[in-house]
Amino acid sequence: MNERTNGGTGAAPGGADEQGATSRTALQAALARAEADGRAALIGYLPAGFPDPESSIKVIEAMVEGGCDVIEVGLPYSDPTMDGPTIQRAADTALSAGTTPADVLRVVQATAATGAAALVMTYWNPVERYGPARFCADLAAAGGSGVITPDLIPEEAEEWFAATDAAGLDRIFLVAPSSSDERLRLTARASRGFVYAASLMGVTGTRAQVAGTAEKLVARTRSAIPGGGPAVCVGLGISNRSQAAEVAAYADGVIAGAGFCQRVLDAPDLETGISAVRSFAEELALGVRDGRS
């Protein structure tokens, strides 16, 4: 592991950035605000361009109005091996609508304008193709805070560390119930902003219950870095208020995605979809507040 990446764990968020010591990313600020409120942050996911680029901005605005603190803007990809059928369908729809990385950056800009922190969630190849350094520079210019990379592990991320450091972006890697203690340490150290804890062994999609593996994983991730590492947020399978509350009791943030996509897919028209999305966000926002009371 590259030592310089350790700077990400609670030290200067900007990494190599001169101003890093004093500036926080919008993501870090949002997590700190939620913490100060005595609750978990609510993080919502939607693929940019779903159902089309303009409409995805409206859906995201509704997610923020409903109470999302942070938005993961998905970069739709042709081969989403980590996603279940709902998000696959949403991403396919976005691709069919002709969504490009430029559209994703536009959606990020609109997201940041709502006051929520904007992240990009992307499989690696589109970033590699765009050029990691250029991608980070353009994302930072659009007001994005960081990037979640579900198929990039720290061992393959040398260029990514340099690119995110140079642009002052957070970089979020994933941990899973199958991760060894050693890998939890490696991954938490490499991450900045938060660590994404996959609640279960599986792909995205709503589940009837939150997996019992999630709480233990959060505790293991926290203890992987003595003295405190980045925040730990939990995703996969969270689809209602009580699940959000359950996870909020032990995690720094609660991530929901498929539930939002499903509401847009199920709606007879965009307006109906948007209001269902808003109520869903409101429901989860209550959940993240129930969790610690």
| Footprint on this chain of other proteins (rule: CB under 8 A) | 77-82, 84-85, 88, 92, 95, 100-101, 124-130, 150-153, 155-156, 173-180, 183, 187, 198, 201-203
Report which of 51, 46, 62, 72 is spatially closest to residue 114, judged by C-alpha positions.
Answer: 62
If we measure between CA atoms, which residue out of 66, 39, 41, 43 comes closest to residue 291?
A: 39
Sequence-ordered list of residues with C-beta below 8 angstroms from that of 283, at least 6 positions apart, any chain: 240, 241, 244
Least distance (Å) from other proteins to the CB of residue 99? 9
CB neighbourhood size of 70 (10 A): 28
Rounded least distance, CB 179 to other proteins, Å = 6
Tell me the residue type at 190: A
| Contact (Cβ atoms closer than 8 angstroms) between residue 250 and residue 238 | no
Which residue number, 180 or 279, has a Cβ lying nearer to other proteins?
Answer: 180
Q: Report the amino acid identity of residue 293.
A: S
CB of 200 to other proteins, least distance (A): 8
Peptide bond into 150 cis (omega under 30): no
What is the C-alpha separation between 209 and 237, in angstroms, rounded?
7
Question: Least distance from C-beta 143 to other proteins, angstroms?
Answer: 21
Neighbours of 89 (CB within 10 A): 17
Q: How far is the CB of 3 from other proteins (least distance, A)?
A: 18
- Whats the size of the chain, residue-wise? 293
As annotated, the active-site residues are 72, 83
Residue 201: which region, alpha, beta or left (left: phi > 0; alpha: psi -120 to 50)?
beta
What is the phi/psi pair of residue 185, to 5°?
Answer: -65, -50
| Other beta carbons less than 10 A from residue 122's beta carbon | 26
